[in-house]
Amino acid sequence: MTIFTDPSAAVDEAQYLAALSGEPFSVVRTDSGMQVIRYTQACRYNREILETVNPSKGAA
């Protein structure tokens, strides 16, 4: 996955992926920036969550 240095770009990517998949996505901290992953993965691997985006009810 892509490593982001711009927080707004990471949130935009999380919004896009959540709308596309119908699942929540999170922006998590990495050693080199931020990464967007599924919320369930962030919780499973105990990643530091900076932001979580839920899909819109009208999405899909």
pLDDT band of residue 7 (cuts 50, 70, 90) is very high
Look at residue 42 and tell me if it is in a domain. Answer: yes
pTM: 0.90
Q: Which residues pair with 3 in a beta bridge?
A: 35
Q: Which residue has the tokens 């369930």?
A: 40
The number of C-alpha atoms within 13 Å of 8 and in the hemisphere containing its C-beta is 0
Look at residue 19 and tell me if it is in a domain. Answer: yes
Look at residue 13 and tell me if it is in a domain. Answer: yes
Q: Specify the number of domains making up the chain.
A: 1
- Of 5, 59, 3, the closest CA to residue 24 belongs to 59
Look at residue 9 and tell me if it is in a domain. Answer: yes
The range of the structural domain enclosing residue 21 comes to 3-53
Look at residue 15 and tell me if it is in a domain. Answer: yes
Look at residue 58 and tell me if it is in a domain. Answer: no
Look at residue 60 and tell me if it is in a domain. Answer: no
Look at residue 36 and tell me if it is in a domain. Answer: yes
pLDDT band of residue 58 (cuts 50, 70, 90) is low
